[in-house]
Amino acid sequence: MTVAVFFDAVLWLARSGARWRDLPEDRFGPYQTVKRRYYRWIEQGVFDQIFEAIAADPDRSGFRSMRP
């Protein structure tokens, strides 16, 4: 599973409010794989690092241009 597919799966869950087991397997693969990577990234602080990088320089990350 690529990082892009993983992020798509996490965003799909956040937007839909669905449970892990409701992830479309044909689109994201087995939900267990996504769930395992998600919790591994939480434990390793990967999401914290991503959010800190975005917060530190929103212009560089491209997120400022997404604001209305």
Torsion of the alpha carbons at 23, 28, 33 and 35, rounded to the nearest 10: -40
Question: Where residue 1 falls among pLDDT bands split at 50, 70, 90?
Answer: confident
Question: Where residue 63 falls among pLDDT bands split at 50, 70, 90?
Answer: low
Q: Label residues 39-67 b or e (16+ Cβ within 10 Å = b).
A: eebeeeeeeeeeeeeeeeeeeeeeeeeee
Which one-letter amino acid corresponds to residue 65?
S
Cα–Cα–Cα angle for 68, 2, 49, nearest 5°?
Answer: 60
What pLDDT score was predicted for residue 29? 96
pLDDT (tens digit, 9 = 90+) per residue, 2-52?
Answer: 999 999 999 999 999 999 999 999 999 999 999 999 999 999 999 998 888
Map out the domains of the chain as residue ranges: 3-66
